[in-house]
Structure 1
Amino acid sequence: MVKRIGSILVFALLGVALASPAFAATTTANVRLKDLGRFLGWRDNMLVGYGIVSGLAGSGDTPRNQATRQALANALSQFDMAVTQDQIQSRNAALVIITGTLPPTANVGDKIDINVTSMGDARSLAGGTLIMTPLRGPDKKTYALAQGPVSVGGYRYDANGNLKQKNHPTVGIVPLGATVEVPVRADLVTQDGNLNFVLKDADATTARRIEQEINQTMGAGVAHSVDARTVAVRAPHDALAMNDYVARIEALEVRPDQESRVVVNERTGTVVAGGNTRISAVSISHGDIRVSVVTEYTASQPNLVSVTGPGVRSMVVGNSDLSVEEPGQTVAASFPDGTVGDLVQALSRTRVSTRDVIAILQAIKAAGALHADIIIQ
């Protein structure tokens, strides 16, 4: 049995490797405004509804599911059929929840995809067809009608106690299964006549750079940064030119500012850090100790013992040998000013494991030499 105490090995080659131009820090490239944020008011709208999937081959909800029986009775009553819940015993139908996303530019007649999920005790939705169901928004208004055959990427078959299942057969989709009935208008212009560009990640420096780029391209005074997340842009006077105006702004490119972070995952041994994350001058020293415990078993059988029988056997003796090995010298290295990228690449060249790199970064952070936040997942 070999037990290893300590794990950080830092070589004197660090000072040479880190000075190499090959490990120079990279700068952030320009990014389109479309990828950095969106205009306030330009958003998707969530739709939801519940309905019935019919045509199942005995894999639907059981008769003890009262919600399904009530839904079937209500549906049949729309066709002047007086059927009570107690008269419904079929397992060829299932009660489902339907969800969909309404885009901000949806018009009447547009088709959208919908998801269908079982909310009862159905075993599978394979082969079923969704009956026409209204989809509503948060305001309780109907915006689309859903209907069509359900596509399930799995199956479930059982017989005589044997079960075969693939993926989740109680979840399916209906491609282009909903038709938009009410158009949606994206109101981008605020009451003060501005377009508000909202950043995905709030950063005052990035907002300031966006303001400068828009004013340089679209004209002085067109944009001003309200806060670290919002940049207000003066809307055009001609409403018909709004789409071209927004497209020009979204195509502009700026260099976003990045917050220094180091993300480590000790379970998978992953380290992710920005190329410009700085490390001050620091010295690292650590040793490696190996403790080895070896046990040898021998049998004791004296020659004078010649009597055999119940209760007479050889005695097994265990001899343990404990040894401690320590390197002849403790390795120390001085790390000049640099970046996390330089350090990680240098450690990789010296064949230091990823988990050892994580321990080194945590120790440097504790020493106050790592100018970044360490996020441990």
Structure 2
Amino acid sequence: MIARWTSTILAAACLLAAPVLAADLRPGTAGEGNFRVNVAASGGPSELPDRIGPVSRIKDIATLLTARDNQLIGYGLVIGLQGSGDGLRNSPFTEQSIRAMLQNLGIAMEGGQARAKNVAAVIVTANLPPFVQSGARIDVSVSSLGDASSLQGGTLVMTPLRAPDGEIYAVAQGPVFVSGFSVQGQAETLTKGVPTSGRIPSGAIVERQVDARFNDDTVLTMQLRNPDFSTTIRVTDTINAYTQSRFGKRTAAEQDSRTILINRPTEVSAARFVAELENLLVETDTPARVVVDERTGTIVIGQDVKISQVAVSHGQLTVRITEQPQIVQPAPFSDGVTAEEPSTTIDAQQAGGQVAMLEGPDLQTLVSGLNRIGVKPDGIIAILQGIKSAGALQAELVLQ
């Protein structure tokens, strides 16, 4: 059915990734066969210190590797634009696509030249969720490929969406919703957002489903979104405590700071077993970390960040150079000429410079100390870098 449909749509199709085997589109199969995890080798419950931290559900901090998304991509045309489409001289592939589409629709353009400005070539992308069935709808993103100024008011023509294995898994079509706009006059242009990119909610119909054998997996692989050994151990102990009371056996074993392997009991389905585990509550733990984005001046300080007692002095030196050239006229009845005499004024000012004691045994004290110094975010960034170099910052400093 897909082959018959795609013969009547665009002849040009874009595939950016190299072809791979169709098996790469299957969900993870780490638990196939009779492979079992040696839970006994992982030892008994850990003796981690009690921590008063945030409590989260397992579903919020971890994901299953037995199910994953698959990326789809396609090349298509957006029509119905109000003169904001591709310039066919600068985007020759748009004209070629128009010719191919019309020929597939039975309209010959021999010797003619398209000069339409209401068509734009676009790249269509989508994520194929796991366990999706044929006939389901998914959202797609549409982005201009040529020099179109806006996709506002356009409609995407039927476009096949391919996976890295080269097969068509969905077909997209529908009106494009653009949040940005662009208005241009003779002397001024106003642009808000990105008018050359938009979305089509539920704009693609799945035509081929990915084979999923989730209920056949005997071993489930769970990975934390934020790797941490303490959190991994706590998740493992929580799962084992639950399965010990529920099924009479421990089923989970930690593998590293991110991965947990879980033996699925045979008396319960995989979906029901995961539904029971993902609602268990676990105290999460994170390393002490300070994240600094120098471009935007954003500073994020983790809960466990501490600073040893240090003395901080921060001052800003401002140098202002002003050029005030003067025009000098020659004396009357002389042979002189009018000249420009340079005049420069230099003013230097230094603000701040006070010395303050800074110590942060907890997050609230640290933030209060930084605010007490009275510097702007760029100054706080410089202070944190200096404290890190002095060895007084008991945390990881991440610069973005």
* SS of structure 2 residue aligned to 1:114: strand
State the Cα distance separating 1:164 from its structure 2 match.
5.2
State the Cα distance separating 1:165 from its structure 2 match.
4.4
Match of 1:82 in 2: 108
Structure 2 residue 361 is the aligned partner of structure 1 residue 338: yes
Distance 2:112 2:168 in 1: 31
Distance 2:188 2:307 in 1: 60
Match of 1:374 in 2: 397
Distance 1:122 1:323 in 2: 50
Residue correspondence of structure 1 range 59-98 to structure 2 within 5 A: 59-64=84-89, 65-84=91-110, 86-98=112-124
> Do the aligned partners of 2:312 and 2:356 also contact (CA within 8 Å) in 1?
yes
State the Cα distance separating 1:187 from its structure 2 match.
4.5
Distance 1:262 1:290 in 2: 27
1:251 maps to which of 279, 283, 306: 279
State the Cα distance separating 1:115 from its structure 2 match.
1.7
* SS of structure 2 residue aligned to 1:206: helix
> Do the aligned partners of 1:151 and 1:172 also contact (CA within 8 Å) in 2?
yes
Distance 2:108 2:144 in 1: 26
Structure 2 residue 198 is the aligned partner of structure 1 residue 172: yes
2:208 maps to which of 169, 173, 182: 182
* SS of structure 2 residue aligned to 1:254: strand
Structure 2 residue 231 is the aligned partner of structure 1 residue 206: yes
TM-score by length of 1: 0.72
> Do the aligned partners of 2:310 and 2:392 also contact (CA within 8 Å) in 1?
no
Change (3 A) 1:159 1:353: closer
> Do the aligned partners of 1:73 and 1:84 also contact (CA within 8 Å) in 2?
no
Q: What letter corresponds to residue 228 of structure 1 in structure 2?
A: S
Match of 2:56 in 1: 31
Residue correspondence of structure 1 range 1-377 to structure 2 within 5 A: 27-64=52-89, 65-84=91-110, 86-156=112-182, 158=184, 163=189, 165-188=191-214, 193-219=218-244, 220-237=249-266, 241-265=269-293, 270-280=298-308, 282-284=309-311, 333=357, 338-348=361-371, 357-377=380-400
Structure 1, unaligned runs of 5 or more: 1-25, 294-307, 312-316
> Do the aligned partners of 2:291 and 2:300 also contact (CA within 8 Å) in 1?
yes
Structure 2, unaligned runs of 5 or more: 1-50, 321-330, 335-342
Cα-to-partner distance string for 1:201-236 (whole Å, 9 max, x where unaligned): 222221111110100011242000011111001123
Distance 2:318 2:208 in 1: 74
Cα-to-partner distance string for 1:236-280 (whole Å, 9 max, x where unaligned): 3257x2222111111112122211112345566554322222344
Query: Matched residues, percent identical?
Result: 38
Distance 1:277 1:324 in 2: 31
> Do the aligned partners of 2:229 and 2:256 also contact (CA within 8 Å) in 1?
yes
Distance 1:230 1:324 in 2: 53
Q: CA RMSD in A?
A: 4.2
Structure number with greater CO (CA < 8 Å, separation at least 6) is 1
Q: What letter corresponds to residue 70 of structure 2 in structure 1?
A: N
Distance 1:278 1:49 in 2: 50
* SS of structure 2 residue aligned to 1:75: helix
Higher mean alpha-carbon deviation, 355-364 vs 167-176, is at 355-364
Change (3 A) 1:87 1:370: closer
